[in-house]
Amino acid sequence: MKANKIVYTSNTGFTRRYAEMLGKATGLPVYDLAQSPQGGSALYLGWLRAGKIHGLARARKKHLVTGCCAVGLTDRPPMEKLSAQLPEGKVFYLRGGYDHGGQHGLNRLMMTAMIKSMERRPPEDAAAQGLLRAAREGADFVTEEQLSPVEDWLRG
């Protein structure tokens, strides 16, 4: 295994679900970053906010992060930007979901502004309309199939 544990930070539960699914599939222990024991190699899963993998810097201070899964809403992730956040490790993208009711404070404010911005885009922009629908109605794109490349890498 390329990591001896799975560590995550989750905002509305999608990232936690992926971490738990990976733990079940690989037999690795799963920890919320705040409760994870210091040291060892870890696969880190974090949610995206404005293109940044939330909690990755904290995880790197506590563990040797050998790989990372960024969990976000879009179906077109900025992989170059995501990979640059962990240049010494492998970075994956997992499509998670969105729950506006689970957002609070700054996150809710930022998402409300993004929704208003997307409402002004032309209706022929299908990708933007899909994101807008997911943001308005909520969405859940979590699937076990998305984890196959991560599991293969871990077992590598």
Reading the block at residue 42, the tokens are 């870890």
Q: What is the CATH number of domain 5-98+140-155?
A: 3.40.50.360
Question: Does the pTM of the predicted model rise above 0.75?
Answer: yes
What would the pLDDT profile of 84-128 be if each residue is shown by its tens digit?
999 999 999 999 987 756 666 766 666 667 677 767 767 677 777
SS3 84: coil
Tabulate helix, strand, coil % of the chain (nearest 5): 45, 25, 30
d(Cα 15, Cα 9) in Å, to the nearest integer?
A: 7
What would the pLDDT profile of 27-58 be if each residue is shown by its tens digit?
999 999 999 999 999 999 999 988 899 999 99
Q: Delimit the domains of the chain by residue range.
A: 5-98+140-155, 100-137
